[in-house]
Amino acid sequence: MSDIATPQVTPPPVKPRKPLYRQLYIQVLVAVVIGVILGYLSPHYAVAMKPLGDAFIALIKMVIGPIIFCTVVTGIAGMRDMRKVGRVGGKALIYFEVISSVALLFGLVAGHIFHPGSGFNVDKTTLNPADVASIAAQGHNIESIGFVLSIIPTTFVNAFARGDVLSILLISVLFGCALASVGERGKPVFDVIEAGAQVFFKIVHYITAISSIGAFGAIAFTIGSYGVVALLPLVKLIFSFYMVCVIFVLLILGLVAHLTGFSILRFCSYIKDELLIVLGTSSSEVVLAPLMRKLEELGCPKSTVGLVVPTGYSFNLDGTNIYLTMAILFIAQALNIDLTLEQQITVAIVGMLTSKGASGVAGAALVMLASTLSVVPVVPVAGMVLILGIHRFLGTGLAMTNLVGNGVAAIVVCAWEKELDRGKLASTLDART
């Protein structure tokens, strides 16, 4: 027998786990709980916390434009092959349309199962159209050809000044395609934009570190403004909407995730920090950059993530689509209006179109609802006043659903392109959850 000793393999050092109080999701969760308590016990002081939430969201929105531009441009230019850009974009849009259609139908079916508006017996003559006039006006504008033309900015810089996601996407795609076609001569520009992306992601990292403060201010203001008691008459709609969103994520997105080779529950646990930030702020835009980073850590190529995720924020709005159909059925049921099957199908088709037009508009879900109601005149637009008071609570659920949906979409498209590192996906989800 040989006396040569078997070499000992030294395992890689295990990265020490952060203590609980330094975990971002714990900080945000505690901040949300404190905000709810303050809003319940002292509404006056809770409402005064609103600037904290507004400041955090403003800080994030300040860098969303440059991040979308840098990631989309480097993603397209990094692919080099324009046919691949078209292929990835085409697959992403097909996926978005299919899942969005399922979400719209899901909301319609749920509205018939739960009947959230039954028993309200609201008299149409008591509704005041003036309460939703400004929102209805924005909804009307979305239907016009002028909105389509407004996607084209007057200048290159104007798109960033307006903060319009669709305009920034348009500029980014054109710039990325042009940069890729230039070839090696464009490499210095590519390097500068790629380095700029790293800088902006670092800025987001700094801002995210104080997300618990923003979540506290936003949730305290919400509870302080509306109060828990004021929600009781509409608690059936809130409860049924959240239940439908959870079922959609577990059933529909869960099935998609299973077919792709990962667990939707593990994925949701993996992005729990981002989900809790959205819970506090009611905005999925604030976690766009961290979501893209985490998707890259899961084994998704940066170029594909940079193209799919920003596009998904305009075209893949699963939670918003569920909200749209459930809200319309709620208003119709509350006003004792029976919608025919044809009218309900019209709602779904119009919702598919207006959901794209409402992206980048303040209070996008409400504007989208107003736009759709104007096409189905049997349900008065003034009926929106019935849900204005709880829109913030519904908006939180739809934003969280949108976030999960866009994360799943990016992984699916990467898998279709055979670019997904499945070993890294499995190991990362196992290690982080």
Closest CA to 188 of 77, 64, 81: 77
- List the chain residues with pLDDT less than 50: 1-14, 358-362
Q: Is 241 exposed, middle or buried (0-12, 13-18, 19+ CB in 10 A)?
A: buried
- For residue range 43-63, what is the model confidence (pLDDT) as tens digits? 888 888 888 888 887 888 888
What token pair was written down for 293?
A: 């980073």
Separate counts of helices (H) and strands (E) for the chain: 21, 0
Residue 14 inside a domain? The answer is no
Q: In this structure, what DSSP letter does residue 379 have?
A: S
So what's the pLDDT on residue 228?
66
Residue 376 inside a domain? The answer is yes
So what's the pLDDT on residue 1?
42
So what's the pLDDT on residue 294?
92
So what's the pLDDT on residue 355?
66
Closest CA to 60 of 191, 194, 186, 211: 211
The Cα 238–Cα 391 span in angstroms is: 9
Residue 5 inside a domain? The answer is no
So what's the pLDDT on residue 17?
66
The Cα 391–Cα 364 span in angstroms is: 11
CATH number of the domain within which 150 lies:
1.10.3860.10
Residue 9 inside a domain? The answer is no
Residue 10 inside a domain? The answer is no
Residue 1 inside a domain? The answer is no
Concatenating the DSSP letter of every residue in 229-249 gives GGGGGGHHHHHHHHHHHHHHI
Domain span at residue 74 reads 20-432
- For residue range 255-270, what is the model confidence (pLDDT) as tens digits? 999 999 999 999 999 9
Q: Is 253 exposed, middle or buried (0-12, 13-18, 19+ CB in 10 A)?
A: buried
Torsion of CA 379, 384, 386, 390, to 10 degrees: 140
The Cα 171–Cα 163 span in angstroms is: 12
So what's the pLDDT on residue 360?
44
Return the half-sphere exposure (C-beta side, CA atoms, 13 A cut-off) of residue 65: 18
So what's the pLDDT on residue 98?
92
Contacting residues for 273 by C-beta, under 8 A, at least 6 apart: 24, 25, 28, 290
Number of domains, the chain: 1
- For residue range 87-116, what is the model confidence (pLDDT) as tens digits? 888 898 899 989 989 999 999 998 889 888
So what's the pLDDT on residue 384?
78
